Amino acid sequence: MAIPGYTDYKKREFCNDVKCPVQLQLNSLEEGSEEYEKIRASCRTGCKFTTWQFHHWLIDKGFEVIKPEQ
């Protein structure tokens, strides 16, 4: 849910922007297909990028990470 005046991060926005080779492969497959899900599983356990890279990409793109007070 977007905050008024802000936009939410879109699923795989970072991956597509940095041209992740795994994401490029996923883009050529039908989402939800067996091959797609097999390749996608590799992202969950063996991402080619670090949290540091993702965090700094967010900063460079003007994103803010927020959470409710409670």
Segment 4-21 shows an average pLDDT of: 94
For residue 6, being part of any structural domain is answered with no
Query: What pLDDT score was predicted for residue 40?
Result: 93
For residue 5, being part of any structural domain is answered with no
For residue 40, being part of any structural domain is answered with yes
For residue 66, being part of any structural domain is answered with no
Q: What is the pLDDT of residues 22-54, one digit of tens each?
A: 999 999 999 999 999 999 999 888 999 999 999
Contact 22, 48 (CB under 8 A): yes
For residue 30, being part of any structural domain is answered with yes
Percent of the chain with pLDDT over 70: 99
**Tally of structural domains, the chain:** 1
Residue 1 confidence (pLDDT) above 80: no
For residue 7, being part of any structural domain is answered with no
Query: What pLDDT score was predicted for residue 3?
Result: 85
For residue 21, being part of any structural domain is answered with yes
For residue 41, being part of any structural domain is answered with yes
